[in-house]
Amino acid sequence: MNLRSRTGSPQTRLRSQLIVQLVRKDLKVKYQGSTLGFLWSLANPLLLMVVYTFVFAIVFRSRVPFFGLFLLTGMLIWNFFTMGVSGAATSILANAGLVKKVPFAHESLPLASIGFAGAQVLLQYIVLIVGFIAVGMTPLRPELLLLVPATLVAVIATVGLGLFVAASTVRLRDTQHILEVGLFAWMWLTPIIYPATLVHTVLGSGLASWLYYLNPMAGVVTAFQRGLYGVVYYPGTTELLLPSDSWGFYLQTLGLGLVVASAFLVLGVWQFRRLSADFAEAL
């Protein structure tokens, strides 16, 4: 094996510079030549918001105030996860020429795909916050700090699963298709379109509910809703819209999510290390 160490601070710095270059390239290639440029990345969430608001707020008469904002709060971080993981899944295949001709740290490719998703979602959140301010729901509250651990858990889960599928897809092309179906089901198991309290009503507050939060994105999404959306009770009632008013609940679910996400990361790094040396040959 090569003596060249791929760890240590100069290498880490080089790799992050490479990731930045790759993300920049992806952004530029994606938006170059379109007049609206980055605004296009807002089109998809806005369209989803309009459609789901129509279905849930008008057809099903959901009592969630500003349903569109509630929806986007969870949807955007979910989009980060799903775009990051799907982008990572094809990142090695899409850069086959590079992998076969240039020796470099292969993990830069899935990490750049995740960074690309992150850059877009970050800007989408900025627009969302402007939306909150516009309707008088400025999200300035201590619970906003929940976004820090929630983002951390989301990033760990995305990187972990992203590395896993990036490496697996090279070996087994079906991974992309399994992933597509899996992520669709996963979205409905995450309280994005419905408030998590509905799940608590069905499952009770015991072990069954905790099983629900084994999905790290469930904890992440509820923490985002508590921090950004912040409407804990249905207006004019004491009925909970979000699962809890206290920090404790969110920190516990995030803690559980962190454990599961870290397991993803360990598994992802293991799978990637195991397979990456043979990428050039398998492509």
Partner 1 sequence: MSSDPVVGVDLSARRSPVDPEAEVLVRAVDVSKKFASYHRRATSLKERLVRRPRGVADTFWALRGVSVDVRRGETVGLMGPNGSGKSTLLKVLSGILRPNEGSVLTVGRVASLLELGAGFDGELTGRENIYLNSALLGVPRAETDARFNEIVEFSELGEFIEFPVKTYSSGMYVRLGFSVAVHVDPDILIVDEVLAVGDAAFQRKCLDRIEMFQRQGKTILFVSHSAGLIEELCTRAVLLDHGQVIFDGLPRHAVARLNHVLGVDRAATSDSELASVSDLRIVDPASRLPIDEYQCGSSILVLATIEWKQSLEQLAKVSLHFNTASQSAVIEVAPRWHEVPVDEVRRGRTEVEWLIEELPDLPGDFTLNLGVYTLEILIAHGRLDNLRLRGASQRVAPGALRLTRVEPGTP
Tell me the closest approach of the beta carbon of residue 277 to partner 1, in angstroms.
4
Q: Which amino acid is at 247?
A: W
Distance of CA 218 to the CA centre of its chain: 11
Nearer to partner 1, 10 or 142 (CB): 10
Nearer to partner 1, 198 or 277 (CB): 277
Nearer to partner 1, 78 or 164 (CB): 164
Nearer to partner 1, 4 or 61 (CB): 4
Alpha-carbon span 27 to 14, nearest angstrom: 20
| 144 Cβ contact partners less than 8 Å away, ≥ 6 residues apart | 227, 228
Tell me the closest approach of the beta carbon of residue 92 to partner 1, in angstroms.
13
Q: Which amino acid is at 112?
A: A
Tell me phi and psi for residue 63, to 5 degrees.
-90, 5
- Yes or no: say if 73 and 128 are a contact pair by the CB < 8 Å rule: yes
Nearer to partner 1, 161 or 170 (CB): 170
Residues forming contacts to partner 1 in the complex (CB under 8 A) are 1-4, 10, 13-14, 17-18, 21-22, 24-25, 28-29, 32, 97-104, 171-174, 277-278, 280-282
Tell me the closest approach of the beta carbon of residue 19 to partner 1, in angstroms.
9
Nearer to partner 1, 29 or 130 (CB): 29
Alpha-carbon span 145 to 103, nearest angstrom: 41
Tell me the closest approach of the beta carbon of residue 113 to partner 1, in angstroms.
15
Tell me the closest approach of the beta carbon of residue 157 to partner 1, in angstroms.
25
Question: Could you give the C-alpha distances from 99 to 110, 163, 282, in angstroms and in order?
Answer: 12, 15, 10
Alpha-carbon span 124 to 43, nearest angstrom: 10
Tell me the closest approach of the beta carbon of residue 263 to partner 1, in angstroms.
24
